[in-house]
Structure formats: structure tokens, C-alpha cells
Amino acid sequence: MSNKVWFITGCSRGFGRIWADAALERGDKVAATARTLASIADLKEKYGDNVLTLELDVTRRDQVKEVVANAHAHFGRLDVVVNNAGYSLVGTVEEASADEVRALYETNIFGALSVIQEVLPLLREQGSGHILGISSTLGHVSMPLIGYYCSSKWAFEAIHESLAAEVKTFGIKVTIVEPGAYATEFGSPSSLKHAASLDIYADLKEKVFGGLKTMERGDPSATPDAVFKVVDAEDPPLRLFLGSHNLPSVRAAYAERLATWEAWESVSNSAQSKAS
């Protein structure tokens, strides 16, 4: 279907900005949202009536409700809903405070849920729609120092997998988009928060950060065509990796898990028995 209407969170930079630009360039219409209107004002200048720029903090449920309603009223429908807003928290499990973890989840999980719950009645009424949840390869594997961010993506994946089964009969599609490492602004201060450091973890951090500095990163401008193939597909996948390094790392992780489960299978089976 051509001339789709997109609703995208987190359009000020990174994938949200790149995909908003690309969708508008191909002639689609976009409700582009960001925490500050100034960061996306140039979209309106460039694309005119094809774009609606809206201020949105996804942690504010009342604002989510208002913005979704405004976008739907303005364009008359929503075809592709992209939950892209999010950030990462750097800190070991011991270092990060409960308040920091709650704040992370308020954006990465509850913010996305607010958008989903507001758009679902509209998508059901029109009998169509495609929700794209932007996750990460880290929705399958975890790393030290960003375990809480990884945990938010694991939860994000489970929620969207359940959602896909729940809304299929309404004509609504769900795809979890899982980018690998890309040269976006995701590592910038506005997308990255740090917990207070404990000296005991200094060596670990030096090793992990040293590895990240040499990690090969993809070009984010190469991603729109893959996203378009998904949203234009009659039968899109539940999950889509972006990048060439994702599958090998996830394949290795699951091979290790299977090997462990199989090695301990007899112990697992011994715990089965039969209920009396």
C-alpha cells in the first residue's frame, strides 16, 4: 500500500529521524514526535503538509493520549506506528539505583505501552495497521554494564510477541525491529545515562568500553529500505534483524543455551514426576 501514514516516536535523531525523512521522501505522511518541537521543526519546513510535528514525552500518559488523537484526527488514519523512543542506562546491577531503573522502564516499557494502548482502538476500528517495536539484538543477549537496558528490551520483546498473537484477528500486524550496532547518536548524553560508579568495577568497565570502541558499526542510512520491505509486506515477520552481525551472535547465544539445557536434561527431567 502506498501513501502510508506513519506515527513515529523519538524523531529528533537516530533511527526515528532517518525513517521519518525516508518515509516522507517516498511520499508517505508522517506524524513525527519528539520531546521538543524545535528538534523536528525543520521537517515541517521541508515537507509541509505531509508531516505533522508534535511534542511528546512518552512517559506522560495524558500527553500520549492527546497526541495520538491529534495525529489520527489530522490524517484520518494511522497505518504504521513506530515505538522508537528510548535510552540506555550504563551501570552494573549493583551500581544503578532503583529510581534510575524505574525511570528507564518508564520510557522504554511504559512509554511504549501507552502508545500501543492508545492506538489499538483506532487500528481495530479501521481494521488494519502495523506496530513496529524498536528493540535491539540485546533483546536476545545481554551484556555487562547495560543489563538493565537489556532487561527492558527482553520485556519489550515479550510484550510485543504476546501483542502480535492478541491483535492478529483484528487485521493488525506487529514486528519487532532489532538493530545491531549502528553509528547513530544513541551513545550521546541525551540517549545515555550513567549510574554512579564503584571502583571495584573499574577494570571491567575499561575492558567492556575498550571493546565497544573497536566494534564495527553499520550505517543507519542503509536501514530504510529494509523497514519499507517489512511495512509493505502482506505477511511481515514478527522479528527483523537490522545488520549483518545480529544473527551470528544470537545463533551462538542460543546454541550455548541449548547445550546447557541438554547437558542438564536428566536433572531437569528428574524434577518432573507426576502430581498426585
Q: List pLDDT tens digits, range 170-181.
A: 999 999 999 988
- pTM (predicted TM-score): 0.92
**Beta carbons of 137 and 215 less than 8 angstroms apart:** no
Q: State mean pLDDT over 145-163.
A: 96
List C-alpha distances in Å: 227 to 139, 211, 223, 236. Answer: 18, 29, 7, 10
pLDDT value of position 180: 84
Question: In angstroms, rounded to a whole number, what is the distance separating the alpha carbons of residues 106 and 100?
Answer: 10
Q: Which alpha helices (DSSP H) does the chain contain, by range?
A: 14-25, 41-47, 61-75, 98-105, 112-126, 147-167, 202-213, 224-232, 246-263, 265-270
**Beta carbons of 231 and 132 less than 8 angstroms apart:** yes
**Beta carbons of 219 and 182 less than 8 angstroms apart:** yes
Asked if residue 1 has pLDDT above 70, the reply is no
Q: List pLDDT tens digits, range 16-55.
A: 999 999 999 999 999 999 999 999 999 999 999 999 999 9
Asked if residue 186 has pLDDT above 60, the reply is no
pLDDT value of position 188: 47
Of 53, 171, 35, which is closest to residue 111 (Cα–Cα)?
Answer: 35
pLDDT band at 223 (very low <50, low <70, confident <90, very high): very high
Asked if residue 212 has pLDDT above 60, the reply is yes
Residues taking part in catalysis: 135, 149, 153
Q: List pLDDT tens digits, range 244-275.
A: 889 999 999 999 999 999 999 999 999 998 88
The residue assigned the cell 549483518 is: 244
Percent over 70 (pLDDT), the chain: 96
Q: List pLDDT tens digits, range 60-108.
A: 999 999 999 999 999 999 999 999 999 999 999 999 999 999 999 999 9
Asked if residue 185 has pLDDT above 70, the reply is no
Indicate the DSSP class of residue 131.
E
pLDDT value of position 53: 97
pLDDT value of position 217: 77
Question: In angstroms, rounded to a whole number, what is the distance separating the alpha carbons of residues 219 and 230?
Answer: 19
pLDDT band at 182 (very low <50, low <70, confident <90, very high): confident
Question: In angstroms, rounded to a whole number, what is the distance separating the alpha carbons of residues 56 and 68?
Answer: 10
Q: List pLDDT tens digits, range 101-148.
A: 999 999 999 999 999 999 999 999 999 999 999 999 999 999 999 999
Output b/e per residue, 193-232; b: 16+ Cβ within 10 A.
bebeeeeebeeebeebeeeeeeeeebebeebbeebbebbe
Mean pLDDT of the chain: 93
Asked if residue 12 has pLDDT above 70, the reply is yes
pLDDT value of position 209: 84
**Beta carbons of 84 and 9 less than 8 angstroms apart:** yes
- Structural domains present in the chain: 5-267 (3.40.50.720)
